[in-house]
Structure 1
């Protein structure tokens, strides 16, 4: 089977981490570097800033900053920033927020990072501190735009724009080293939420979460080191555009992973090697759900699944993929099977759904729309060793047969005359109870085929 190289191979030792803002009024002892600021309805009426990061500060050590603190960064353009040893608690996370307008972190693309965290836990980076500004943190430049690294865990990043990075836009992982504290079984990155961010014009992946080589590990002078597990990861409502490699790539997320409601446009524009030009990559060791995403114009596969083997991929729109709409391969896959249900795949250059997943106990392909695959193969098994259950899939060569409200205008709702309505199999056993637009399934006599329910 063809091995798909992962875009992250070019960069192995890069650190990172950052966070977001709560809606509580937090009272903390005031240091000499504290102040009070007015905000807006998007955050709070009055926030006590435990610490204000000055424009001249490139590094802040949070060892003495208590849980529940609010770290304010004033509006304006500044250089890169490194936050180290910020330790909140689950009940009292440390909040990093913009104050008084947009904060732009600007540095050369040759710099290691524009925004980085080291050894931080239970923190949030939120750019929603000013009314009318959707992305209050603007991260411009750096080889890695925003990097969450060096044993950082339990964090949230939201309302951040990341652009013009040399490699990844937002990276979150601690690569294994000969320090056993970085290796699987000794460190777990968990409780990660990345949402409402805009990542674009990157040299590599838009989002790069977890290590790419979960199964085989990394060869070091001390031997093979296995990368850490990722638990409880949520990536949702993000927009990626014009990324060098995948818009979203996840590895090692063995439990509690959900990638949903994201828009991935024009990924893979300048990959470092072949097969690094996909839309969304559910990489080695990653299980869970991938749903309600829109993937447009990926030069490679729309969605590539190399996951844990308990993967459920549903309600996705995959349009104009340069290779396969969905590609599945078995790497480290101890789970019971891949399930591809109620996806709408329109005009992929190769196959609609290509299954190289020979070691999976069962591949399930139900209620998918596949329109005009370039190869002529809507569902392609690489060999007879691929086990497949396929039911109620709609296959055609003309998108107009779907009777969408306005396909060319981006409105993918069904008209009342669509042949997809009530033509699907019952997939309630898979926990699918809603469609791409959030409407209940089924809404009529039976389930509809494709990502939308009439």
Structure 2
């Protein structure tokens, strides 16, 4: 997110706050299991929903604000089925062992608000809580947030939360936002507050005016200049974004910034992002933004007008097992704006028909760029791997480059089945990537399954 957009959004929010304090891929899931063998968590088995949950507190349809200061840790807060207006939850404080759960009760809850409203659902100064729309049998997304400038926002020092089984649509700006922008209150600034232990999964976000998921501040390195001087945004630690479906967003499908440790973005489907960006360069699939390290893997990204994945991270970034199709610009773009770490690593990705380069590296200041075992098919520029200058340091091994997608031997590429047929030239043609922590493929199949690693996102 660039500074122009930041200023526009700030002005817009100020105008809204002056009047009120509130601030396809179809619904079919990706054709892959939700498990992963990368040493990460596995989705639990399906169990009976919380249909018979005892409610500690029930939010009335007429309530637009609930102060949770007197709601004890471990409570279950129920929101009854039906259509209602916006809701602000403030001062909900669970514990790590006993989070407060906010759940739908009796069916689907639809938050219907005007797109000019600040939000549909907001948390303020909340910690150790879950918002989960799995409270009614047979309903996948029990919370339906329709409208608002931001569909759902975890704001004002909120931390330690989980968001799951939520549908967000028709927001003017972001679908789900999680950050506290720094202000002249030092409590909001880096070193005084850390947003941590964030899990956002199994959500469906579509038709948003801006980003689908907007997690953390975009200006990690230099912060923002406001009335009291230059202020730095808070750190984000231990964030997991997985198994979300994101379709038809105005800007990036997923944008993560300031996530300095233990960031994982995986198993997401991002389709048709960047349809109406606020400015140039905001039309990418997934943005691993300034101040963000960690892993980005096993994602499907289709039809991004800009880059499939853009990496501006700390330099301890591993991007692997992603399938990137029909990016308008580059399949993957890397830039070392603030990179104290040692390496950008791009391994075992499948990149098909990018409008420009397969992998483009403007990353001149990072000690090493590693590009191994990628299948790069039909780049529009005819450059599969592009260094912007001789100052870009590169290790490139066992990449497969072709202009013929049919020659790769996918089972049904047009049907999003990226398994390999036994005749595929990608099989057993890769370098050993185990030392980079890669031990499974896009589908969770162990690597290697034969004599050697296969090239691309999938292992035969």
**Does the TM-score normalized on the shorter chain lie above 0.5?**
yes
Tell me which residue corresponds to 2:88. 82
Tell me which residue corresponds to 2:277. 271
3-state SS of paired residue (1:47) = coil
Tell me which residue corresponds to 2:36. none
The alignment status of 1:368 with 2:374, answered yes or no, reads yes
Tell me which residue corresponds to 1:356. 362
Distance 1:7 1:355 in 2: 25
- Superimposed CA distance per residue, residues 72-103 of structure 1 (whole angstroms, 9 cap, x where no aligned partner): 00000000000000000000100000000000
CA positional deviation for 1:406:
1.1
- After superposing on structure 2, the runs of 4+ consecutive aligned residues of structure 1 that deviate more than 3 Å are 3-10, 12-17
Tell me which residue corresponds to 1:292. 298
CA positional deviation for 1:7:
5.6
3-state SS of paired residue (2:139) = coil
CA positional deviation for 1:10:
3.7
CA positional deviation for 1:45:
6.2
CA positional deviation for 1:414:
0.4
Distance 1:408 1:7 in 2: 36
3-state SS of paired residue (2:101) = strand
Unaligned stretches of 5+ residues in structure 2: 23-45
Tell me which residue corresponds to 2:190. 184
3-state SS of paired residue (2:83) = strand
CA positional deviation for 1:5:
6.3
Tell me which residue corresponds to 1:72. 78
Distance 2:438 2:104 in 1: 38
CA positional deviation for 1:11:
2.2
- Superimposed CA distance per residue, residues 331-357 of structure 1 (whole angstroms, 9 cap, x where no aligned partner): 111111100000000000000000000
The alignment status of 1:342 with 2:340, answered yes or no, reads no
In structure 2, which of residues 439, 449, 457 is the aligned counterpart of residue 451 of structure 1?
457
Tell me which residue corresponds to 1:329. 335
Tell me which residue corresponds to 1:258. 264
Tell me which residue corresponds to 1:149. 155
Give the conservation status (yes or no) of the 8 Å contact 2:50–2:136.
Answer: no
Sort the Cα spacing of 1:383 and 1:190 in 2 relative to 1 into closer, same or farther, 3 A.
same
- Superimposed CA distance per residue, residues 229-269 of structure 1 (whole angstroms, 9 cap, x where no aligned partner): 00000000000000000000000000000000000000000
Sort the Cα spacing of 1:238 and 1:189 in 2 relative to 1 into closer, same or farther, 3 A.
same
3-state SS of paired residue (1:48) = coil
Give the conservation status (yes or no) of the 8 Å contact 2:51–2:135.
Answer: no
Tell me which residue corresponds to 1:244. 250
Distance 1:45 1:402 in 2: 48
The alignment status of 1:113 with 2:111, answered yes or no, reads no
Give the conservation status (yes or no) of the 8 Å contact 1:5–1:275.
Answer: no
CA positional deviation for 1:286:
0.2
- Superimposed CA distance per residue, residues 377-423 of structure 1 (whole angstroms, 9 cap, x where no aligned partner): 00000011100000000000010110111112221110000000000
Tell me which residue corresponds to 1:26. none
Compute the TM-score of the two structures, normalised by the length of structure 1: 0.93
Tell me which residue corresponds to 1:392. 398
Tell me which residue corresponds to 1:318. 324
Give the conservation status (yes or no) of the 8 Å contact 1:202–1:243.
Answer: yes
Tell me which residue corresponds to 2:414. 408
3-state SS of paired residue (2:247) = strand
3-state SS of paired residue (1:241) = strand
- Superimposed CA distance per residue, residues 16-72 of structure 1 (whole angstroms, 9 cap, x where no aligned partner): 99xxxxxxxxxxxxxxxxxxxxxx943346322110000000000001111111000
In structure 2, which of residues 131, 134, 138 is the aligned counterpart of residue 125 of structure 1?
131
- Superimposed CA distance per residue, residues 199-253 of structure 1 (whole angstroms, 9 cap, x where no aligned partner): 0000000000000100010001110000000000000000000000000000000
Give the conservation status (yes or no) of the 8 Å contact 1:7–1:204.
Answer: no
Compute the TM-score of the two structures, normalised by the length of structure 2: 0.91
Give the conservation status (yes or no) of the 8 Å contact 2:51–2:106.
Answer: no
3-state SS of paired residue (2:206) = strand
Distance 1:219 1:287 in 2: 25
In the alignment of these two chains, the number of paired residues is 430
Unaligned stretches of 5+ residues in structure 1: 18-39
3-state SS of paired residue (2:130) = strand
Distance 2:429 2:5 in 1: 40
In structure 1, which of residues 125, 132, 136 is the aligned counterpart of residue 142 of structure 2?
136
